[in-house]
Structure 1
Amino acid sequence: MMKRSLLLAGALAALTTAAPAEAESPMVHLVLKFVKDKPTRGPAVVLDPVSCPACVVGHDPGFERDNARETLVELRVPAQRSLELAFDSQPGMRRVLLETTDLPFRREGNRLLVALAPLHGDLVDTGEFSTHIVEPGMVLRFEHADPARLAGDYAGKPLPKVQREAANVLEFAEREAIREIGLGEHVAREGLGVIEIMGFDTNEPHGHKDSPPHMHMHLRWPFNIGTQIGHYYLSPEGLLQHNQAGATGFHLPAHDYAPGEPFTTIDNRGRPAYTQTITPEGWLKLTAPLPGGNCLIRPVGQGFASGASVACDGHASQTVQVSDDLEHGVLRVTTGTVIETFRYDRDNGLLLSPTEAPRMPDGTIVPISRTEFPLAHAAATPFAAPGSD
């Protein structure tokens, strides 16, 4: 009995003197972009682990990146903590970005100190280089193809210039068709989600290979519960070849739609929202169950890189041309006689052009509905002519 008591006492003593097990801190996954003020080779920064012993540097090539324009650093850092990260740095770092947000930083000798606010979730899209144009029921994501940023399946190869320019035109041609049909307003009014128009990335942001060259127009349902996503692949001549489509969140096999085979996108209530069909010529038909809801999008030349003609029922045909000036960060879209100019941040693609009209005075009455009702004796009460009194 004495022996058992001694053993128990020893075990209790060991428990009380042993170091407590450390609880695992929640971490968030992020990518920081260090923008160089002039082209250089080799990583511009390296994390000093002493500044954040709990941080973990990642080396996934889909997130970690270095090119002449920028260095992308992949990190896992403690969640909801105010951190100041120190990096051994080359001179000439002009910006530090997290997503499209500039982070405050300062230099101390060869070290760069970056202040990081408490983070509650992963932020890994910093490597994207695209501009988002938002309209009712629709968002257009325009990807900028920078030869200095080519990565993934496009690294070490010539820029797919014709396909990228074809995708540029098709994105804005679809936007024009959506406007003329009134499809975006319909989606917004009915609460069906948002139509997303996209091309393809050439810089593999967040590991997104996005190849071969293609474009999209899909309806993302509310609460992101699922999306039918079509991939409209482009030929070297800039024409549409076929559409490979599947549905996210439902583990369904993708189906390949050949020219002439319609692909119908349904809304979150199971109703047809719109149908897209690649023609035998490599053009695109867009139809929707709305008045005048039939459009044909065809190239003005050999392929869509030359521009597109958009012809919708009840509307005059419109020619769409697109140019992207990477050096100055200017995207110009010509639709008929209308020239639109979108200025964007050359480091991350953030739209800089104004997007909201001036605010109306507080006393302005904005009609939100129309009601008609008879006024008693209205016809028997003549109004005095101006100046008659």
Structure 2
Amino acid sequence: MPRPLTRRCLLAGVPAIGLAAAVPGTAHGAELAYAAFRVVRRLPGEPSQPEITLPAGYDLVPGANYSVASRAEYYTFVRGPHDAAGIEVNLRWPDTTVETVIHQDLRLPIRPDPTDRHGLAFTLPMSQVSVNANQPTIQVWSHPDISPGMNWRIEHNDPDRVAGPWTTVPWPAGEVRSVVHQLVAAHAICRDSGMVDVAAAKGHRFVLMGFETNNTLHADNPPHWHISYNSGADFSAPTHNPHFWLDPAGRNFYNGMDVTGLGRFRYYVGDPAPLYDFIGVANGGRGNLVLTFTLREDGGIDIDPADGPGYAIAAGRDGGLLEEVTALRAGEPWLRISTDDDVRHGVLVVRVTDLQDPAASSTKVHRYDRLTGVLHTVPA
């Protein structure tokens, strides 16, 4: 398994956000930069926000999407002249104990104010070119496998961190749990089938992603997940981006597949959804068939590569997808997969039972920074 890498901020379906409004005090011609920081409370409580003081020439990006309070934290975005060494930010939050301040994947050193027990300061690098480039600051996700042909991300969602549309709907407990089982199954299928190697040989990649409940820059709602295919190195290349919508029982019931240049294709249970590589002029210019997705009656997904046996993510032994999922290979039960993600302690347990070769079964423990998602260890 490759070593973990720091997170990338370009997301499927997320528009680049540029704010060109003048910043008070910014000198004419000065390079404008953006930075986000996330203030984490030691104990969750009623959402509130701290008092923030910035140096002259800097201000907070205006708008409710850019200053967000939840039970666990508060995040906001700053704009002003580029300063890679960083600016001093002073923060005062009465009756709230601050655990740490997050910027990108870093925990910034904080300095208590010796004259005010409610105050602290920290140095914030001002180096990002857009608001959107700061998305790693507000996300908690891990990358178990970034390698040629594969970019796999697992989101670690916490009900105390909800933001945006998730503050007005019930917590999606079933979807949050099931999507991790299904991501593990999808990764195993992409690897075992050889499709990752074929994609890598073309300079292409698969992208496996869940959904986020804390990001006001990307309202990832309703709950859905992706087995995307970039016909190139990243999302700037032609892309097939399926959106598998989940119900509270973790069942996939709709696939809205966005295809570069062609818009959204809509598929339901039983509808074959072909995915192509955009090489050549076959299939109306979409190129060669890579695989076909078909949503199953049990809420799973048939995944049929263009070459080789078919695979599937199917229901577990209880007929559902909440406790576990079953991966099928050539129509036969192959793997039984269940996961437990302890987001409060940063521990993800993945149990894989090989139903065809029991000796190949495994239980792996992924430990990650609970506030950034960065992996401490990647099990072999």
TM-score w.r.t. length of structure 2: 0.79
Q: Which residue number corresponds to residue 33 of structure 2?
A: 28
CA RMSD of aligned residues (A): 2.4
Q: Which residue number corresponds to residue 223 of structure 2?
A: 213
Offset of residue 171 of structure 1? 0.9
Q: Report SS of the residue matched to 1:311.
A: strand
Task: State the AA in 2 paired with 1:296.
Answer: A
Match 1:297 to one of 303, 313, 332: 313
* 1:75–1:238 CA distance, 2 compared to 1 (3 A): same
Q: Which residue number corresponds to residue 233 of structure 2?
A: 222
Q: Which residue number corresponds to residue 15 of structure 2?
A: none
Offset of residue 61 of structure 1? 3.0
Q: Report SS of the residue matched to 2:197.
A: helix
Offset of residue 222 of structure 1? 2.1
Q: Which residue number corresponds to residue 115 of structure 1?
A: 123
Q: Which residue number corresponds to residue 170 of structure 2?
A: 158
Q: Which residue number corresponds to residue 77 of structure 1?
A: 80
* 1:314–1:135 CA distance, 2 compared to 1 (3 A): farther
Offset of residue 247 of structure 1? 2.6
Q: Distance in 2 between matches of 1:119 and 1:47?
A: 20
* 1:120–1:99 CA distance, 2 compared to 1 (3 A): closer
The range that moved more, 128-137 or 77-86, is: 77-86
Q: Distance in 1 between matches of 2:47 and 2:167?
A: 16
Match 1:133 to one of 109, 134, 144: 144
Task: State the AA in 1 paired with 2:243.
Answer: H
Offset of residue 335 of structure 1? 1.0
Offset of residue 296 of structure 1? 1.9
CA contact (8 A) 2:89 2:124 kept: no
Match 1:168 to one of 153, 166, 180: 180
Q: Which residue number corresponds to residue 7 of structure 2?
A: none
CA contact (8 A) 1:322 1:332 kept: yes
Q: Which residue number corresponds to residue 340 of structure 1?
A: 364
CA contact (8 A) 1:48 1:86 kept: yes
Deviations 1:88-140 (A, max 9, x none): 32363232211112223322233433223451523321111222211432122
Q: Distance in 2 between matches of 1:132 and 1:60?
A: 31
* 1:306–1:83 CA distance, 2 compared to 1 (3 A): closer
Deviations 1:265-310 (A, max 9, x none): 2224222222211123432111113333x10221112321121111
CA contact (8 A) 1:32 1:74 kept: yes
Query: How is 1:80-119 mapped onto 2 (pairs within 5 angstroms)?
Result: 80-90=83-93, 92-109=97-114, 110=116, 111-117=119-125, 119=127
Q: Which residue number corresponds to residue 157 of structure 2?
A: 145
CA contact (8 A) 2:258 2:264 kept: yes
Structure 1 unmatched runs, 5+: 1-20, 358-389
Equivalenced residues, count: 329
* 1:214–1:42 CA distance, 2 compared to 1 (3 A): closer
Offset of residue 175 of structure 1? 0.9
Task: State the AA in 1 paired with 2:213.
Answer: T
Q: Which residue number corresponds to residue 64 of structure 2?
A: 61
Task: State the AA in 2 paired with 1:61.
Answer: A
Q: Report SS of the residue matched to 1:317.
A: strand
CA contact (8 A) 2:162 2:213 kept: yes
Q: Distance in 2 between matches of 1:206 and 1:310?
A: 34
* 1:217–1:282 CA distance, 2 compared to 1 (3 A): same
CA contact (8 A) 2:299 2:315 kept: no
Q: Report SS of the residue matched to 2:138.
A: coil
Offset of residue 311 of structure 1? 1.4
Q: Which residue number corresponds to residue 282 of structure 2?
A: none
Q: Report SS of the residue matched to 1:306.
A: coil
* 1:63–1:129 CA distance, 2 compared to 1 (3 A): farther
Offset of residue 316 of structure 1? 6.2
Which one has the bigger strand percentage?
2
Q: Distance in 2 between matches of 1:302 and 1:162?
A: 14
The one of the two structures with greater contact order (alpha-carbon pairs below 8 A, sep at least 6) is: 2
Largest Rg, 1 or 2 = 1
Offset of residue 30 of structure 1? 2.4
Q: Distance in 1 between matches of 2:296 and 2:99?
A: 48
* 1:327–1:147 CA distance, 2 compared to 1 (3 A): same
Q: Which residue number corresponds to residue 347 of structure 2?
A: 330
Q: Which residue number corresponds to residue 14 of structure 1?
A: none
Deviations 1:172-224 (A, max 9, x none): 111111121022222223311x2111121112x14211111111100123252
CA contact (8 A) 2:229 2:240 kept: yes
Match 1:48 to one of 53, 57, 62: 53
Structure 2 unmatched runs, 5+: 1-25, 280-286, 354-360
TM-score w.r.t. length of structure 1: 0.78
Q: Report SS of the residue matched to 2:170.
A: coil
Q: Distance in 1 between matches of 2:183 and 2:66?
A: 27
Note if 1:263 corresponds to 2:266. Answer: no
Q: Distance in 2 between matches of 1:296 and 1:117?
A: 46
